[in-house]
Amino acid sequence: MRFGQTLFSLFIGIIGMGATFSSPLQVSEVSSSPVSEAAPTQRPADSGQPDVWPAPTFSAVDQHGKRVTDQDLSGHVWVAAFLSTHCPPACSKMAPSMISVLQNVPHPDVRFVSFAVDPNADTPEALKQYAAAWKRDESRWLLLKTDEKTLAQIATKLKAALHSTDNQDSVLQPGKLFFLVDQQNMVQGVYKDEGEFALKKLAFDALHLLHGDSQTTAEAAAKEISPQAGERLFNSLDCAHCHSQSRFAPALAGLFGASVQLKDGQVVSVDEAYLRESILDPNAKIVAGYPGFMPTYRGRLDDAQVDQLVAYLRTLGKNPGDTSAGKGEQDVTKSESSAEQHSH
């Protein structure tokens, strides 16, 4: 498992650090060279793994007026991001994105940390009201007030570029980055918020860390082709959301090994090749009676992950060696309007 890799990450360097800022601050995605004081821990050159590095040390006050330090998070998996309580719509989506990750990782031992980027406006009271507006009862979410020095140090350690803006009329834009930190306070990955899939990938990796998987062991888990690995991936992608609603897609139980009628009238067997094609090119063979809403996962899942999903979906169907006429074969003779037993 390459935490925060492929479409989901953006490792970034530091520019312009060491100065103090009197005007509003902006966390940027600009990449440069790494800072020596935050030099990442290097893995062997042939490991294929991204760098990991120590998370920032800090002491800050949360939305309840309580002092929180990095040591309070030691022993927890935690997700960090930057936040402003008064940013425009372009960056205000960071709050619902954080809530989405919160909901996808319900485990009580995971923490979620938002570092406020405006020392003047983002007071504990403002942060408390902000948190209440989004997720009133979420005790795992820490919204931390910073000062200019602390904010600069945190950004440096997270390799996030920080610079001032002279436009006093524009509020802060904290960027679209999430940082995944393990129980030893090591940054394991950086994720760019590019939509629901990226957020689910972050949640998936956080759960791996929670179960004791380092990057090395998670990499092995990612390559393991098993129904169990496929089920975890299936759940992390929330595939059941559509496959539990017949107007969108069928329940997948009994599908593998059956035959389905396609939109063009062709009848095909649901084998591994069909499942793999349906994941990577879902519009290639649309089952009769369905709208074809499924997104492609080409470029989003690697070969091992596709194989994991196929292995899991096989367990939901009948034994492929069973040649008796089952429900799947019977259903394909029905009209298109009754084909809602099958889809990609």
Percentage, residues of the chain above pLDDT 90: 33
pLDDT digits (tens, 9 = 90+) for 254-285: 889 999 999 899 999 999 999 999 999 988 99
5 pLDDT higher than 70? no
Q: How many CB atoms lie within 10 A of CB 129?
A: 13
147 pLDDT higher than 70? yes
What letters, b where the CB count within 10 A reaches 16 and e where it falls short, cover 327-343? ebbebbeeeeeebbbbb
pLDDT category at 168 given cuts 50, 70, 90 is very low
84 pLDDT higher than 90? no
Domain covering 227-338: architecture: Orthogonal Bundle (1.10)
Q: What is the DSSP string of 201-251?
A: HHHHHHHHHHTT--HHHHHHHHH---HHHHHHHHHHTTTHHHHT-TTT---
Q: Give me the chain's average pLDDT, please.
A: 73
Q: What is the pTM of this model?
A: 0.55
Say whether 227-338 and 6-223 share the same fold: no
Q: What residues does each domain of the chain span? A: 6-223, 227-338
Domain covering 6-223: architecture: 3-Layer(aba) Sandwich (3.40)
pLDDT digits (tens, 9 = 90+) for 89-116: 445 567 788 888 888 888 899 999 999 9
